[in-house]
A = this chain, B = another copy of it.
């Protein structure tokens, strides 16, 4: 699966062959087919693991904070989301760019997980809007914008650059709170 991920990231799903993946994994073609029916199953496996991991991490970050603290919930959600996209860049890039290559039930499963992931952003922001803490007139569009500015981090972030994953996550959390018009009730 690591070899498949690397090949999909480098050449795209249609451009990567089972032969490429076998060579990258340093095993024979028969060895791969012992575990996976083909390239489609490999793509489904790789993408499912990625999205399950990021969903588990982001959901836990929100669940750890009471629902009456939407500022802190959104900040934690954005931090978890951005940190994932700084450290799991290859997975995240394949997850974002190869969805249209998925077929059948594997596709349905990945799409369902993506919908749950988006719903986590939407419900967190709408809860804040209902409580009067987030003042934006556009909570749904804000949810999608925050989701996507985080996904893009996987395309440009460099671990050897001048900001740590944690530092970037903090800045994105602040930008997100500003975008939703968060007011600090302690002020």
Contacts and interface: CB of A to CB of B under 8 A. Distances in A.
Interface of A: 10-16, 96-97, 100, 136-138, 141-142, 144-146, 148-149, 151-152, 155-156, 168, 171-172, 174-176, 178-181
Contact of A137 (B14, B141, B174): B174
A179 B181 CA distance: 8
Given A13-B15, A148-B149, A179-B179, 15 more contacts: A10-B100, A12-B12, A12-B15, A138-B171, A141-B168, A141-B171, A142-B175, A144-B156, A145-B149, A145-B172, A149-B149, A175-B179, A176-B179, A178-B179, A178-B181
B14 A138 contact: no
Contacts of A142: 175
How many chain copies?
A: 2
Contact of A175 (B10, B13, B100, B136): B136
How would you classify the secondary structure of chain A's contact residues: helix, strand, loop or mixed? Answer: helix
Given A11-B14, A15-B15, A97-B97, A148 B152 contact: yes
A136 B172 contact: no
Contacts of A179: 175-176, 178-179
A167 to B, nearest CB: 10
A138 B175 CA distance: 8
The 7 closest A-B pairs by CB, nearest first: A14-B15, A12-B12, A148-B152, A145-B149, A179-B179, A11-B14, A15-B15
A120 B162 CA distance: 22
